[in-house]
A and B are shown apart, each in its own frame.
Chain A
C-alpha cells in the first residue's frame, strides 16, 4: 500500500485505538499492521526500532511509532505517526474525564477502580520483572537498581535526579574503561 502521510496517520490511529492495557502490545500490533498487511518495513527493522525505543526516554509505544514514521516519510512521517498514536488516547480521556467527574463519587465506580488498581500493581510487577531480565545483567547494574529503589522509596528522591545520576554513572563507567584501556596500551 502507498505510504502517504494520510495512510501513516490512519494506520497509527488504528494501532493507538487498539492499544489497551499498556503499550506492551505495540509490537504484535505493528507486526500485523505494517509488516504483514502493508509491508512498509520488515520484521527485523521493526524489532530494531522497538529495541531502540527502549533506549530513548519517553513512552515506548509512541517512540516506536515515531521511529517507524521517520523511516517511512522523514520528519513529516514522524509527526503524523505521533499524532496518530496519541489522538485515540487524548480523545478517549477527554470524553471519559468529563463523565467521570460526575460518577467518580459513586461507590461501584470506586470499587472497580480499587480492583483495577490492584490489577495495575500486578502489571507493574510484570513490567519490572521484564525490565529486570533485560537490565540487571551483573552486580554493578544490580547495585544501581537497589540504590535507585531505596533512594526513591525511603527518601522520596526526585526521579529526574536519580536518572541524571544514572547518566553520570554511565558516562563515568565508560570514561574509566577508556582510561584503563589506554593504560594497557
Chain B
C-alpha cells in the first residue's frame, strides 16, 4: 500500500513539474532510478526504447512501463493516472480562465524562464544517455543519423527504424557491447 502511495506521489509530481513534452519526463524518471531504486538505469533505458516504438505519447508509455516494473498492473494504472492528473486538473482550470491566463504578465514571465530550464534538463538527459550507451560503433551510427537529419526533415519513426535495424545487424557482429 505504501508503495502504491509513493508511486502515485512520484508520478503526480512528474506530471506537475515536467516541462517540454514527453521526453521532459525522462530527467525525473532517471532521478527516481537514482533515489527510489524501483528500477535500474539500464532497465529505464530499455523502457525508453520500447516506449519510443509503441503507440501513444512517449511520456505516457514510459510512465505506464515504469509503474508496471515497480508494482505490476496496479502500479501501471496508478503511475499512468498520476502522471496525467495534474495536466487534466490544470487545463480544466486554465480553460475556464483562458483570457486571464493568456495575458497575465507573471504567467508570461514564468513561462519565459521555465522553457529554457526544461530545455536544459532535457539536454542533460541526452548527454547522460549518450555517455552511458555509446561505444565507437554507436558514435558512427549517431553521426550517420545526424547527417540524415540535417539533409532532410524526416519522421521520428524513420530514425528509430533505421537505428533498430542497424542495432540488430551490429548485434550479429558483436559491435553493440
Cα distance A126–B60 in the bound complex, in angstroms: 20
Q: How many residues does chain B have at the interface if contact means C-beta atoms less than 8 Å apart?
A: 101
Q: Encode contact with A along B19-58: 1 for CB under 8 Å, 0 otherwise.
A: 1111101111001001000000000011011111111111
Main secondary structure of the interface of A (DSSP, over half): helix
| A54, A120, A137, A178: the one within 8 Å of B52 (CB) | A120
CB neighbours of B76 from chain A (8 A) = 90, 93-94, 97
Cα distance A123–B68 in the bound complex, in angstroms: 25
CB neighbours of A112 from chain B (8 A) = 49, 164, 167-168, 171
| A25, A118, A128, A163: the one within 8 Å of B141 (CB) | A118
Q: Encode contact with B along A107-148: 1 for CB under 8 Å, 0 otherwise.
A: 110111111111111111111100110111100011011111
CB–CB B23/A22 < 8 A: yes
CB neighbours of A54 from chain B (8 A) = 20-21, 115
Cα distance A111–B141 in the bound complex, in angstroms: 13
CB neighbours of B69 from chain A (8 A) = 97
| A21, A144, A160: the one within 8 Å of B53 (CB) | A21
| B61, B84, B130: the one within 8 Å of A93 (CB) | B61
CB neighbours of A123 from chain B (8 A) = 23, 52, 156, 159-160
By beta carbon, the residue of chain B nearest A53 is: B91
| B56, B84, B95: the one within 8 Å of A19 (CB) | B56
CB–CB A23/B57 < 8 A: yes
CB–CB A163/B117 < 8 A: yes
Q: How many residues does chain A have at the interface if contact means C-beta atoms less than 8 Å apart?
A: 96
CB neighbours of B86 from chain A (8 A) = 57-58
Which stretch of A2-10, A35-43, A149-157 is in the interface? A149-157
17 contacts between A and B (CB under 8 A): A25-B156, A63-B87, A79-B88, A85-B60, A89-B54, A90-B56, A104-B46, A115-B141, A117-B49, A117-B129, A118-B145, A118-B167, A141-B113, A144-B113, A159-B17, A163-B114, A171-B109
User: A residues touching B (Cβ–Cβ < 8 Å)?
Assistant: 16-26, 52, 54-63, 66-67, 70-71, 75, 78-79, 82, 85-86, 88-90, 92-94, 96-97, 100, 104, 107-108, 110-128, 131-132, 134-137, 141-142, 144-149, 152-153, 156, 158-160, 162-167, 169-171, 173-174, 177-178
